């Protein structure tokens, strides 16, 4: 049997600018996820570390170093804090890239729960590096991807909520991601460049869309109350969306006139 994969690539063409992913059944009967790239195919496990490896018999390098840190801290209560060295950071970085490729596939295959799992995992790694590495350059190597991971996590959690009209929980997820990106910008003194952050703009636009969808949904059900409108007004004011706030004020006045006709 030839190891040449040319026929596979011919049957599954690469499309520049698009994420092309699929799930295939392996010879062992287990599903695996594949991502078509320009020079071939990336194949990943559905669970655990994407390449299926078990470094130092752990499920991942992240789990391995977490265990090292917990063991060290328990045995060295009065010693300097646990630190990750350069080799550890490199291992964790390569691993994060693997998880990035997989959660990108999960998102495009509408596997939202798995996408949320992997984005949350990478965000935890970013936090771990922040706590256990002194070099700020190492922080930024990981943290530069925090806005995108926050965006993708919010989308993977919020999209299925919106689909079942659970708008308030979805908005809380979106707001948490917006807050996370704003904290990131403040940490790196980039507040003045917030308008240039594509992930933040994407989340803010999505938030407006979800708020509009919530209003339309309640209006269609006939259960828009003044209390609901007032809550939406407060949200609009906090987000400095003044045109939306003015519209909501007019709507509140209209409801008041309907309830108390002169």
Domain count, the chain: 2
Q: Which residue has the tokens 């799930």?
A: 23
Residues 245/237, Cβ–Cβ less than 8 Å: yes
pLDDT on residue 212: 92
198 located within any domain: no
Residues 232, 111 share a domain: no
Domain assignment of residue 171, yes or no: yes
Half-sphere exposure of 150 (CA within 13 A, CB side): 29
Please give the pLDDT value at position 262: 47
User: Residues 76, 19: one domain?
Assistant: yes
Q: At what angle do helices 167-187 and 198-221 cross, to 10 degrees?
A: 160
pLDDT score of 223: 61
Give the tokens for residue 77.
């209560």
Q: Are residues 30 and 107 in the same domain?
A: yes
Domain residues for the domain of 261 are 220-262
Q: How far apart are CA 122 and CA 112, in angstroms?
A: 15
| pLDDT tens over the chain, length 262 residues | 688 999 999 999 999 999 999 999 999 999 999 999 999 999 999 999 999 999 999 999 999 999 999 999 999 888 888 999 999 999 999 999 999 999 999 999 999 999 999 999 999 999 999 999 998 888 999 999 999 999 999 999 999 999 998 898 999 999 999 999 999 999 999 988 899 999 999 999 999 999 999 988 887 877 667 777 777 777 777 776 777 777 877 777 776 665 454 4
Residue 88: inside a domain, yes or no?
yes
Residue with structure tokens 């919530």?
A: 214
Q: Do 38 and 77 belong to one domain?
A: yes
Residues 47 and 122 in one domain: yes
Beta carbons of 167 and 210 less than 8 angstroms apart: yes
């Amino acid at each position: 049997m030839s190891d040449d994969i040319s026929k596979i690539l011919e049957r599954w063409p690469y499309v520049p600018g698009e994420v092309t992913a699929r799930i295939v059944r392996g010879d062992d009967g287990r599903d695996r996820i594949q991502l078509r790239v320009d020079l071939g195919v990336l194949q990943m496990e559905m669970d655990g570390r994407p390449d299926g490896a078990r470094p130092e018999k752990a499920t991942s390098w992240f789990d391995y170093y977490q265990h090292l840190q917990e063991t060290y801290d328990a045995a060295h209560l009065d010693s300097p804090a646990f630190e990750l060295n350069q080799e550890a950071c490199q291992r964790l970085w390569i691993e994060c890239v693997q998880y990035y490729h997989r959660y990108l596939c999960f998102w495009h295959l509408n596997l939202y729960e798995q996408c949320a799992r992997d984005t949350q995992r990478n965000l935890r790694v970013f936090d771990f590096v922040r706590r256990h590495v002194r070099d700020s350059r190492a922080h930024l190597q990981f943290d530069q991807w925090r806005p995108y991971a926050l965006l993708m996590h919010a989308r993977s959690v919020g999209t299925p909520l919106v689909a079942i009209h659970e708008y308030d929980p979805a908005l809380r997820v979106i707001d948490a991601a917006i807050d996370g990106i704003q904290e990131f910008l403040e940490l790196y003194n980039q507040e003045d460049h917030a308008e240039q952050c594509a992930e933040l703009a994407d989340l803010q636009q999505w938030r407006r869309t979800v708020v509009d969808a919530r209003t339309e949904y309640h209006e269609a059900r006939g259960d828009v109350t003044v209390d609901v409108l007032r809550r939406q007004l407060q949200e609009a004011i906090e987000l400095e969306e003044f045109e939306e706030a003015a519209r909501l004020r007019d709507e509140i006045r209209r409801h008041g006139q309907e309830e108390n006709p002169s």
